């Protein structure tokens, strides 16, 4: 009960910061500073590992950035409520993973929070790009950096879970424990390198994707959502590779087909803004 009260308190602080920004639109940097301090001084002692801190941290900043683009009082209230619920889920999942990082339910919470965080960042990045006439190369850099630092923690959590499930019993065997431990440590270092490689590849892919999407005649919501769909397909494929050590053709084709259908629906139902 005390645990849930602490998470509720952190979530209320997060919601209060967004509500203040919705009331005082020129307090962006003050609220941004508060959210950063909230993560460093309140959330960090709660989760105590960077991979568990990253998703709630980027979710809070992404929520603030996207709230800047939301018009209407009731729309802003609804958005704050939705962001607060996701923030609560992300913090709860992070805390549970700190206690037991093979917790499958907590991983599902982090996965959900990761997708929402990516959505907030992609849509807000593209919205700021359109509203403030930012150069396209800055947009690409923003997407590459945000994709890397948001995707890396979730992939690290997935890799760590699979690694520990595989080696937990072997490390506890009697006889030759030191040898097994050193081998496991060596493989863990190798796994971290693999995670870094996939994070860089995914970030570069999304940089290329948003550069291509920047030529589309659509608003920031449609373009950002399409980018999220593409991200999800690649991100889910990497996670499948981590879990199963391979990617089946059926899995890959079904995900690509789903991506094409969703993008086609988005494009066909969205207004085109062709500039002559």
Determine the Cα–Cα distance for residues 195 and 136; give it in Å rounded to an integer. Answer: 28
Predicted confidence (pLDDT) at residue 124 exceeds the cutoff of 50: yes
Predicted confidence (pLDDT) at residue 176 exceeds the cutoff of 50: no
- Asked which of 51, 71, 99 is the last residue of a domain, the reply is 99
Total structural domains within the chain: 2
Residue 227 lies in a domain: yes
Residue ranges making up the domain that contains 192: 119-270
Q: Are residues 57 and 185 in the same domain?
A: no
Predicted confidence (pLDDT) at residue 276 exceeds the cutoff of 50: no
- Give Dmax over CA atoms of the chain in angstroms: 75
Rounded to 5 degrees, what are φ and ψ at 187?
A: -70, -30
Determine the Cα–Cα distance for residues 117 and 264; give it in Å rounded to an integer. Answer: 23
Residue 110 lies in a domain: no
Q: Are residues 93 and 124 in the same domain?
A: no
Query: How does pLDDT run across 32-80, given as a tens digit for each residue?
Result: 999 999 998 888 888 888 888 899 999 999 999 999 999 888 999 999 9
Which range, 20-24, 49-53, 171-175, has the best average confidence (pLDDT)?
20-24
Residue 109 lies in a domain: no
Q: Are residues 94 and 231 in the same domain?
A: no
Q: Which two tokens stand for residue 138?
A: 């800055």
Q: Are residues 164 and 77 in the same domain?
A: no
Tell me what the pLDDT averaged over the chain comes to.
83
Residue 241 lies in a domain: yes
Q: Are residues 134 and 249 in the same domain?
A: yes
Determine the Cα–Cα distance for residues 80 and 67; give it in Å rounded to an integer. Answer: 8
270: three-class secondary structure by DSSP: coil
Predicted confidence (pLDDT) at residue 2 exceeds the cutoff of 70: no
Residue 275 lies in a domain: no
Q: What is the pLDDT of residue 175?
A: 43
Angle separating helix axes 220-244 and 136-171, nearest 10 degrees:
20
Residue 107 lies in a domain: no
Q: Which two tokens stand for residue 17?
A: 């910061």
The angle subtended at Cα 239 by Cα 86 and Cα 248, nearest 5°, is 135
Render 143-169 in DSSP notation, one character per residue.
Answer: HHHHHHHHHHHHHHHHHHHHHHHHHHH
Predicted confidence (pLDDT) at residue 184 exceeds the cutoff of 70: no
Determine the Cα–Cα distance for residues 58 and 113; give it in Å rounded to an integer. Answer: 10
Q: Are residues 167 and 224 in the same domain?
A: yes
Q: Are residues 92 and 129 in the same domain?
A: no
What average pLDDT score do residues 93-103 get? 83
Predicted confidence (pLDDT) at residue 94 exceeds the cutoff of 50: yes
- Asked which of 69, 99, 129 is the last residue of a domain, the reply is 99
Residue 256 lies in a domain: yes
In 3D space, the residue among 53, 55, 56, 75 whose CA is nearest the CA of residue 66 turns out to be 75
Q: Are residues 43 and 160 in the same domain?
A: no
| Total number of residues shown for the chain | 276
Q: Are residues 146 and 186 in the same domain?
A: yes
135: three-class secondary structure by DSSP: coil
Q: Are residues 124 and 242 in the same domain?
A: yes
71: three-class secondary structure by DSSP: coil
Residue 108 lies in a domain: no
- CB neighbours (10 Å) of residue 168? 11
Which range, of 46-60, 134-148, 178-192, 251-265, averages the lowest pLDDT? 178-192
Q: Are residues 126 and 252 in the same domain?
A: yes
Q: Are residues 128 and 244 in the same domain?
A: yes
């Amino acid at each position: 009960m005390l645990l849930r009260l602490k998470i509720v308190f952190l979530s209320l602080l997060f919601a209060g910061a967004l509500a203040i920004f919705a009331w005082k639109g020129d307090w962006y940097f003050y609220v941004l500073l508060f959210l950063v301090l909230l993560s460093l001084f309140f959330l960090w002692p709660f989760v105590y590992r960077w991979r568990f801190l990253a998703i709630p941290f980027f979710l809070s900043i992404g929520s603030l950035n996207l709230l800047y683009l939301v018009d209407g009082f009731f729309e802003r209230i609804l958005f704050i409520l939705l962001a607060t619920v996701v923030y609560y889920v992300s913090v709860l999942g992070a805390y549970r993973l700190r206690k037991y990082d093979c917790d499958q339910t907590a991983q599902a919470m982090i996965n959900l929070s990761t997708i929402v965080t990516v959505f907030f960042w992609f849509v807000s990045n593209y919205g700021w790009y359109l509203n403030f006439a930012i150069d396209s190369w800055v947009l690409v850099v923003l997407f590459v950096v945000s994709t890397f630092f948001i995707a890396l923690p979730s992939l690290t959590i997935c890799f760590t879970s699979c690694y520990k499930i595989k080696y937990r019993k072997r490390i506890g065997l009697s006889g030759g424990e030191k040898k097994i431990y050193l081998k496991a440590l060596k493989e863990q270092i190798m796994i971290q390198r693999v995670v870094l490689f996939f994070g860089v590849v995914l970030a570069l892919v999304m940089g290329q994707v948003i550069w291509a999407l920047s030529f589309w005649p659509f608003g920031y919501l449609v373009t950002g959502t399409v980018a999220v769909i593409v991200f999800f397909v690649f991100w889910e494929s990497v996670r499948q590779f981590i879990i199963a050590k391979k990617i089946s053709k059926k899995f890959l084709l079904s995900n690509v087909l789903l991506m094409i259908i969703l993008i086609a629906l988005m494009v066909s139902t969205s207004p085109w803004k062709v500039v002559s």
